[in-house]
Amino acid sequence: MATPRRKKYRSWNPAAYAQQAFTPAERLPDGDLVFFLLDLVPQLDLDPFYASYEVETRGQPPFDPALLVCLWLYAYAVGVYSSRKIAQACERNLAFLAIVGDDRPDFRTISAFRKEHLERFADLFLQVLHLTHEAGLVQLGLWATDGSKVPGNASRHKAMSYGYMEKEVARLRGEIADLLRQAQQQDEAEDAALGARRGDELPEELRFREQRLAKILEAKARLEEQARDAAAAERHRRAESEERARQGQRHAGGRPAQPVRETPEEKAQTSFTDPELKIMPQNNKGWDYSGNAQVVVDDACQIIVACDVTAQSNDKQQAVPMARQALANLERAGIARPQDATGQVQKIAAAQDSGYFSDTAVSGLEALGFDPYVATERHKHHATAGAAAGAAVERMRAKLRTAAGRAVYGLRKGLVEPVFGQIKGARGFRRFLLRGLAKVRGEWRLVCLTHNLLKLWRYGCTSVMS
């Protein structure tokens, strides 16, 4: 039951367009996505969106949050991600006009709403996930996890390597010292000629160099902290590897390990526009500052049950966190896992490519109640498996050699990879617009939320709203 509203809002009545002589409904096809959303959004629990307005009753009535929620959902669903382009569409596009009517928000209002309420779309993700389950689109039989590099809103030209930073720091400090010396000489000359003066005016060129030096030192400190964290993680990994070797699980061999490096390499880079993103390889063999966008997809109708963005280029550490998030989403969305005849919770098969494989990932998935099918290496035609492998690798290889294992893992590619194709190719989402990892995660969640809404609409699941 919706909470009573104290705040007064601008009137929003989407059905009013039906009374006009020329209406979007006369031109748009029956069952268009916009009409589906206009029916769905008022039935969602939007109290968290209204709550921030209810505390302030002064001023002009704001736009109804339901209008702006519907607007953003429709815009992301059809591949319009810029607030300025959305505002333009509200003046020229019939589907957008069906949402906003005659009272059209400007791009600042549209942008501010997304910025302020980005985290609140997480609750809508769970509500829509519940609706997809009610519609029979989520079966909980097989889940596939995968990641894709999505470039961020950060220019490669606004970045600097650690080695170049050290050179720039030395150069800027020298220039600042020269400017300070020149300023001191000028002060002394003016004192001799004109008497005392305030002397607190900072030359523009000195201010610029000090600001640039501060930014470079801040970026340099970030790289040094990342290097220390990486060194600590590498020491932990080596300690675990040595412990397994002592227990006879794995033969120690290979080249002697290099000393753990505490300082960044000279080529290590960081971005000044979005320092939370890392430089990552792209599908076109290039490099760009990106987020590693992760999804867990149910096999029935390609519904996304969990999504996240990490700054780690490698997927190896993401298997267990993504599985844990997916289970938490089920619980929060009120979706019970199926049980067998004895009342035991059925295991969900989890298919992942070789980028996710590790002993820790497999054991972690099993501890969470999954039946993992994780490739241990990239499979090439007419290639044989390597001779030396640990016990966990051999067990997984044997599992994937069985007819059942091949059948389950064979579904992975056709299950999860088309989801990225639908998002990147069909809807044109190829770059994050927001900056900062938290906002990037919120934007990716909004993309995945609208992916699930599109599945609901395309499967004609109108009964779940009644």
For the chain, the first-to-last Cα distance in angstroms comes to 15
| Average pLDDT over every residue of 261-285 | 71
The predicted pLDDT at position 168 comes to 64
**Side chain identity at 53, as an amino acid letter?**
Y
The predicted pLDDT at position 385 comes to 44
What confidence tier does 197 reach under pLDDT thresholds 50, 70, 90?
A: very low
What confidence tier does 60 reach under pLDDT thresholds 50, 70, 90?
A: confident
| Average pLDDT over every residue of 285-309 | 91
Looking at 59-73, 87-101, 238-252, 436-450, which range is the least confident one?
A: 238-252
What confidence tier does 271 reach under pLDDT thresholds 50, 70, 90?
A: low
Alpha-helical regions (H) of 103-161: 107-117, 121-134
Pick the CATH number of 136-154+275-432 from 3.30.420, 3.60.40, 3.40.50, 2.60.40: 3.30.420
The predicted pLDDT at position 382 comes to 46
Identify which has the larger pLDDT, 165 or 431.
Answer: 431
Looking at 125-129, 155-159, 331-335, 340-344, which range is the least confident one?
A: 155-159
The whole-chain average pLDDT of the chain stands at: 82
- Percent of the chain with pLDDT strictly greater than 70: 75
Instruction: Summarize pLDDT for 208-227 with one digit per residue, the tens.
Output: 667 766 776 776 676 677 77
The predicted pLDDT at position 160 comes to 60
Instruction: Summarize pLDDT for 378-399 with one digit per residue, the tens.
Output: 655 444 444 445 677 889 999 9
Domain locations along the chain: 14-118, 136-154+275-432, 158-271
What confidence tier does 254 reach under pLDDT thresholds 50, 70, 90?
A: low
Residue owning tokens 């497999």:
362
Q: Which range in 161-170, 184-193, 320-329, 338-347 is most confidently predicted, on average pLDDT? A: 320-329
What confidence tier does 244 reach under pLDDT thresholds 50, 70, 90?
A: low
Q: Partners of 310 in the beta sheet?
A: 292
Identify which has the larger pLDDT, 272 or 273.
Answer: 273
The predicted pLDDT at position 393 comes to 86
| Average pLDDT over every residue of 113-139 | 94
| Average pLDDT over every residue of 353-363 | 91
pLDDT at residue 81 tops 90: yes
SS3 per residue for the chain: CCCCCCCCCCCCCHHHHHHCCCCHHHHCCCCCHHHHHHHHHHHCCCHHHHHHHHCCCCCCCCCCHHHHHHHHHHHHHCCCCCHHHHHHHHHHCHHHHHHHCCCCCCHHHHHHHHHHHHHHHHHHHHHHHHHHHHCCCCCCCEEEEEEEEEECCCCHHHEEEHHHHHHHHHHHHHHHHHHHHHHHHHHHHHHHHHCCCCCCCCCHHHHHHHHHHHHHHHHHHHHHHHHHHHHHHHHHHHHHHHHHHHCCCCCCCCCCCCCCCCCCCCCCEEECCCCCCEEEECCCCCEEEEEEEEEEEECCCCCEEEEEEECCCCCCCCHHHHHHHHHHHHHHCCCCCCECCCCCECCEEEEECHHHCCHHHHHHHHHCCEEEEECCCCCCCCCCCCCCCCHHHHHHHHHHHCHHHHHHHHCHHHHHHHHHHHHHHHCCCCCCCCCCHHHHHHHHHHHHHHHHHHHHHHCCCCHHHC
Q: Cβ–Cβ contacts within 10 Å for residue 125, how many?
A: 23
The predicted pLDDT at position 65 comes to 93
Q: Which two tokens stand for residue 261?
A: 């490096």
